[in-house]
Chain A
Amino acid sequence: MDSALIPEGARRCPFPVFAAGIAVASAVLLWGVYAMGLVWIKGLNQTNMNDYYGFALWIWADLAVIAIGGGAFFTGLLRYVFGIDELKHIINLAVVIGVICYSSALLILAIDIGQPLRGWFIFWHANVHSMLTEVAFCLSLYFSVLIIEFIPLVLENRQLDKVPFFHNLGHNMHGIMAVFAATGAFLSCFHQGSLGGVAGVLYGRPFAFREGLLIWPWTFFLFTWSAAAYGPCFTLTVCKIFEGVTRKKLVKDNVVDLLAKISGWMIATYIIAKIIDTIYWAGVTVSDMGFSFMHFYSDNAFYGVWILFTEIVICGIVPAILLTVKRFREDKKLLILAIVLGTIGVCINRWVMVLQVVAVPVMSFDTWALYIPSWQEVATTILPIAYGIIVLSLAYRYLPMFPQEQELYDAK
């Protein structure tokens, strides 16, 4: 039925099977859209946000998708600016994931601001003393860069490629992609960093506050670093999910191994910096502000030392070791364990830096403010997952997302 659109020689499931899968994902998507409509029509009273939780589930989801979407800017930087040619076989997937993650982040923000019709105020009436203004600028512009990186892949569709102008456009965009990739890396460094900076400058929140360099708290650098380190883990995780679902090898082992190794070393260096930051915070910052370390991890039903241990040891040190040691990295099960742990690790870090920050009592009369999101918040947070599944499925079916697919199939 749609065979004329499928890349030449590629084997795809029958259209009815594909359509059924898309229909299931669309049903979940519609549930999210309904919740989104409720929030836009009735307002933020549809959420369980309150005076404690001005930042809640959405902002965590926003920061998490931006972090795991960091694979796009980092892989793009490595491929187009540093010229690591092997990564051209996985860059398409990284870009599609980036587009999904960043469009989801913008959508979540559009829901969270409550008055989306006033979204342009942040540009027109910019507060140049706010890190969030920097985030809004860089996020929007980087999303345009991702779209530019995505266009050549769309234009490689079998039918579009027959149109000479589209063919030439794709070719010419590839020609100067290094310029776009470098711009994207510049923008990414600043918005990833500023998202961390927002937490680090909260001097009234000792759990988040950090000292730093000039105007940037250490969290600025840790957020950028962690996105570059853990983003490729998510790219590889999606790649492995694709290979599992399609029961096909889509990317050669040497490409996966290279990206996993780079990610491993980035995680290793990041986690060392994170440990130093945590020790300094626990030993100096916290006591200077009149608190004790255990104040932030006790007397509540959820946040214990376990969360710090999980983030740093299980989802930091363990994947760093598994991905940097060749013997472990070449073991398929250990590789999958490492990239999944890495993805979870950065999501936990963002959870802690958004939700635990606001949960911790800071006044003597305060208690821990625990929060359970409303179903509207949950549905709108699940919405991007359904949307991502649909976009990835369409991209896989109709675009040459995995350039080595045919070669690997023929070699089987």
Chain B
Amino acid sequence: MFPFCFEWVWDVGHYLFFGAMWYAVIIISLGMTYCVGKSLVDTLNGKGAGHGDGHH
């Protein structure tokens, strides 16, 4: 799973499998971090209170 695991080999199989896996993990993590962070900032700025800002 990680290059420091004893069975890790720098070959095509590992590039493809783990490249795709980490690519998806990073997109999902960054996306959620952005959403949570922006929501915190929005909330601190008073947005969302009273829900007058056109939800969805």
Are the C-beta atoms of A186 and B24 separated by less than 8 Å? yes
Are the C-beta atoms of B28 and A145 separated by less than 8 Å? yes
Are the C-beta atoms of B48 and A133 separated by less than 8 Å? no
Given contacts A126-B1, A126-B17, A190-B20, contact A141 B25 (CB under 8 A): yes
Are the C-beta atoms of B43 and A165 separated by less than 8 Å? yes
Are the C-beta atoms of A141 and B24 separated by less than 8 Å? yes
A133: which B residues are within 8 A, CB to CB?
17
Are the C-beta atoms of B35 and A164 separated by less than 8 Å? no
Are the C-beta atoms of A148 and B51 separated by less than 8 Å? no
11 pairs of residues in contact across A and B, judged by CB atoms under 8 Å: A126-B1, A126-B18, A128-B11, A133-B17, A141-B25, A148-B31, A161-B51, A164-B46, A164-B47, A167-B55, A190-B20
CB-CB contacts of A90-106 with B at 8 A, as 1s and 0s?
Answer: 00000000000000000
Chain B stretch 24-40: residues in CB contact (< 8 A) with chain A: 24-25, 27-28, 31-32, 34-36, 38-40
Task: Kindly state whether residue B3 has any CB partner on chain A within 8 Å.
Answer: no
Are the C-beta atoms of A176 and B40 separated by less than 8 Å? no
Are the C-beta atoms of B56 and A144 separated by less than 8 Å? no
Given contacts A167-B48, A172-B42, contact A183 B35 (CB under 8 A): no
Which secondary structure dominates where chain B touches chain A? helix
Cβ-closest 3 pairs across A and B: A128-B13, A164-B48, A168-B39
Are the C-beta atoms of A176 and B34 separated by less than 8 Å? yes
B: number of interface residues (CB 8 Å): 33
A: number of interface residues (CB 8 Å): 34
Are the C-beta atoms of A128 and B17 separated by less than 8 Å? yes
- Distance (whole angstroms) from the CB of B54 to the closest CB of chain A: 9
B13: which A residues are within 8 A, CB to CB?
128-129
- Distance (whole angstroms) from the CB of A148 to the closest CB of chain B: 7
CB-CB contacts of B1-16 with A at 8 A, as 1s and 0s?
Answer: 1000101000101101
Task: Kindly state whether residue A174 has any CB partner on chain B within 8 Å.
Answer: yes
Complex CA distance for A190 and B27, rounded to whole angstroms: 17
Task: Kindly state whether residue A134 has any CB partner on chain B within 8 Å.
Answer: yes
- Distance (whole angstroms) from the CB of B37 to the closest CB of chain A: 9
Are the C-beta atoms of B47 and A168 separated by less than 8 Å? yes
A282: which B residues are within 8 A, CB to CB?
none
Complex CA distance for A270 and B18, rounded to whole angstroms: 31
The chain A residue with its CB closest to the CB of B25 is: A141
Complex CA distance for A224 and B38, rounded to whole angstroms: 35
Task: Kindly state whether residue A326 has any CB partner on chain B within 8 Å.
Answer: no
A179 in complex: contacting residue of B16, B31, B49, CB < 8 Å: B31
